[in-house]
Structure 1
Amino acid sequence: MSAEVTTIDLDACRLTAPVESTLTQADALLESTFLELSEALDLAASDAPGRAAHDPGPLGVDLVGELAERSRNHGKRLRPMLAHWGWVVAGGDAGTHHHVVRVAAALELLHLFALIQDDVMDRSDSRRGRPTLHVVAAGRHREAQGLGDDCLFGDSVATLVSDLALSEASLLVAPTPAPVRAAWRLMAVELVEGQLLDVTHTAGRRRDHATSRRIARLKSGRYTITRPLQLGALVAGADADVVHRLLTWGDLVGDAFAVRDDVLGVWGDPARTGKPAGDDLRAGKPTVLLSWAAELLPECDRPLLAACDAGELDDAGVEALQHAMVVAGVRERAEQAVASLVDRAHRALDDLAPEPAADAALRGLADAIAWRSA
């Protein structure tokens, strides 16, 4: 299948009246959340000592404003879309729609939390075509000649903003039914565990296929595809059999999402991804692609892998390893794996047999997710 599917294709999956209504209501809920947070801070400030003389100073951060601005600069919105379609497949009705809106809004904030912290851990300079939060904050610290380490300041600001995103996401889910809250909790712990495994295995230079797949599924596929779908279905009161079938489809598409994510992390076009190409190679990430590279690269290219493990690849080394991985067949294996996963996902939908609109939407999303270029 062609790899030319882009964000436009994902937009086409989104722009149907029912999904758009869910997303619009989720945005409105987020805006009301930001307003409530601002009002809470104003109330707290009104009781604080020295309130008349309060001055945020040259390095003051508008906590809620920063959270709101970055939330509005959203990406493909896969998670809320999948929550919506999980709800539809499970027979969701008007009486439960307000809960799926809550889940959709919460997923946006959880994703923002994950992105901000991921950027700090990966030392990423850009996200969605703009400077990352920790980079912006560190730059302001340097310009103001602030006290202490500028990078630590930037990391601290980013961590605190992301903490608020996670806290508010959890509060949005709090009024939903108990099975939804239980699935949310599992998703959150999977995400954090996946990120932790990524950090520890990168530092430990451990790279094996099974571990790489586990990391990718926990930190990427599950919280992007499988759990949002499950959350929507649980809002609708789905029985165990429907949830199990959705989880099967979700893990297949989630694994395809993760492989494509790794491909874009090595060979993606920065103009489309909003991030520099080759970052995973510079960092020596324990990705599935690098586990395949360890199997397939000839002896003459092994020094490139050793430099990758040591975190010593310069730009020329990254380019050389990118080329060597293509020649050795790593990229072709990735494309074959994605194609196989999508084919299996489509067959799983045959077994699930959702109503026609949901069936078409999920098939379209699977294709767009797997063959995206951003």
Structure 2
Amino acid sequence: MSSSDIDFIATEARFGAQNYAPIGVVLSRGEGVWVWDTEGNRYLDCLSAYSAVSQGHCHPKILAAMVEQAHRLTLTSRAFHNDQLALFYEEIAALTGSHKVLPMNSGAEAVESAIKSVRKWGYEVKGVPDGQAEIIVCANNFHGRTLGIVGFSTDPETHGHFGPFAPGFKIIPFGDAAALEQAITPNTVAFLVEPIQGEAGVVIPPAGYFTKVRELCTANNVMLVLDEIQTGLGRTGKLLAEQHEGIEADVTLLGKALSGGFYPVSAVLSNNDVLGTLRPGQHGSTFGGNPLACAVARAAMRVLVEEGMIENAARQGARFLDGLKDIRANTIREVRGRGLMLAVELHPEAGRARRYCEALQGKGILAKDTHEQTIRIAPPLVITSDQVDWALERLATTLTQDFS
């Protein structure tokens, strides 16, 4: 049976668990900012696989590194050393200014690893009584889908009917430094937070928030854990989103763009002794730090810097944001963003954002709705000014469209 004879969407529905509701397009090829469906239609990718394809689809230098390494050695497990892991450690530490690195695979694994590590640090270094460690998180957070993580989600769709959940988490409002100060106790070991809440609809905290957060965490010997899995590696126009306020996290979580979309790679980065509490046998991953992952990640980081993608994200993000703000449409409640992490929030009376995303598909743009009323826009960091303007024309037409 040839691919042309297969109804891909119907086959997915018949055999697959119904845990996603994708836009009705079947993609088969990608290059740079563009993707093509099985019928040959071209689309500008304005999701970038939730920022995992920041370097653009099928970047040739990352592809070459992956193919070369795949011919040599793909997996050893951490039972043995390999000749790529040390180089990955050295290069990611130099890029981010980190002192210790724990390699994992998915973003959720990085979050779980950080939770384990800060709890262990709390007991062995800070002196929190065993079993009493507290981690503060924010309402409307999104840190992954594992059981440990969804237990402190405030989204009913994420945590409903998956309990019971592990204790030890306090939930406070995002962007409220006073709430953080009030929530901290002698047993608080960490504050886990996204610099910008992506899944919540690209929610940006007030100016000065993270400066105050950093002060509070330092004063109370609390580890500031920044989940930069979406915001990191150039997405917001800086290498790390923390740089917008000139702060430094104690623990930084990276993933998604760390491999340019070729392979699941994540990392926990630490600037203190949090990761130093781990001993052989206490945490690990068969695939974490494997040579193929390390070679791919090294190439992904290299092109990000050498090709000026971070600076381009800042330039094109400003152009995109200004263009979105210039759209005069009664449907728009708010436009917000930083770098190439953007969102258009619609008025409730405009209807669900999904229908606008479906209309954009018909105009050659793939974007994704979130939380009913918000359209997220996050193209690869290699997008050009002409491509931004092309997208803005189609977004303006769609956002002023009458769906009644």
* TM-score normalized with structure 2 length: 0.27
Higher strand residue share: 2
* TM-score normalized with structure 1 length: 0.29
